[in-house]
Structure 1
Amino acid sequence: MLIYKIFRDAEWQDLVTAGETAGAPIDLADGFIHFSTAEQAAETAAKHFAGVEGLVLAACDTDELGEALTWEVSRGGALFPHLYRRLKLSEVQTHWPLPLQDGAHVFPEDMA
């Protein structure tokens, strides 16, 4: 199963340069890297990245993330994937730009 992490451009560039990341400031504060399922990603973008340009959507396979990936109750009582370790660039299966159009982020059609 693929899960998704939304990065600001600078965060993505840091991951590409360093080869791994502990995540965004919210991830560092919470002690884990926040991910979303395909069904949750648009709401995550709207809630936490409204109006932000230059985002990157990264897809990771849950099987490759191992035991450090847990599913925990979060927004609206839904289970969200949380990674309790650094994310390696090599674990990113693919990524796409997440452009803004008419105030909303446009997600790739093939992200299922």
Structure 2
Amino acid sequence: MDTPIYKIVPRPLWREAEAKGRFEGAPVDLKDGYIHFSTGAQVRETAERHFSGEDDLLLLAIDADALGDALKWERSRGGQLFPHLYGPLPLDRVLWAEDLPLAPDGHHTFPASVR
């Protein structure tokens, strides 16, 4: 499927992951039993639905192909296939982490590379 995949993470949570050497997930991920990701086509809607108005966020790009069999593509919102990681995210699978700032209109500003 698509590579890279994306994860929106509050900056303090990502700093904890960097200190641990792995990302175990946000509270919703821990509750659901897997780490939620989005494709480039899905991530803007994910930001609107789950992070509306939130600041101090990072957008992570992850090499989906490098996650192996722990990454499952499962139906979710609107019947779309979403990437779900069953297990912690090794930090060496993260291609980059960039600020995800709020624009004056209240929507997040995504890097141009995210399509």
- TM-score, normalized by length of structure 1? 0.97
Q: Which residue of 1 aligns with 2:94?
A: 92
- Whichever residue aligns with residue 109 of structure 2, its letter is V
Q: How far off is 1:41 after superposition?
A: 0.3
Q: Is the 8 A contact 1:34 1:82 kept in 2?
A: yes
User: Displacement of 1:10 after TM fit?
Assistant: 1.1
User: Is the 8 Å Cα contact of residues 19 and 90 (structure 1) preserved in structure 2?
Assistant: no
The residue aligned with 1:42 is: 44
Which ranges of structure 2 fall in alignment gaps of 5 or more residues? none
Alpha-carbon distance, 1:111 to partner: 2.6
Q: Secondary structure at the match of 2:19?
A: helix
Q: Which residue in the other structure is 1:33 paired with?
A: 35
Higher strand fraction: Structure 1 or Structure 2? Answer: 1
Letter in 2 for 1:24: A
Give the percent of matched residue pairs that are identical in Structure 1 and Structure 2: 51
Contact 2:24 2:87 in 1 (8 A): yes
C-alpha separation between the residues in 2 aligned to 1:81 and 1:106?
22
Residue 111 (str. 1) matches residue 114 (str. 2): yes
Q: Which residue of 2 aligns with 1:71?
A: 73
Between the aligned partners of 1:76 and 1:42, the Cα distance in structure 2 is: 15
User: CA-to-partner distance for each residue in 1:63-108, whole Å, 9 max, x for gaps?
Assistant: 1101000000000110000000100111101111000011100000
Q: Distance in 2 between matches of 1:106 and 1:75?
A: 22
Q: CA deviation at 1:40?
A: 0.3
Tell me how far apart the structure 2 counterparts of residues 94 and 17 of structure 1 sit (CA, whole Å).
17
- 1:13-24 equivalences under 5 Å are 13-24=15-26
Poorly superposed stretches of 4+, deviation over 2 Å: none
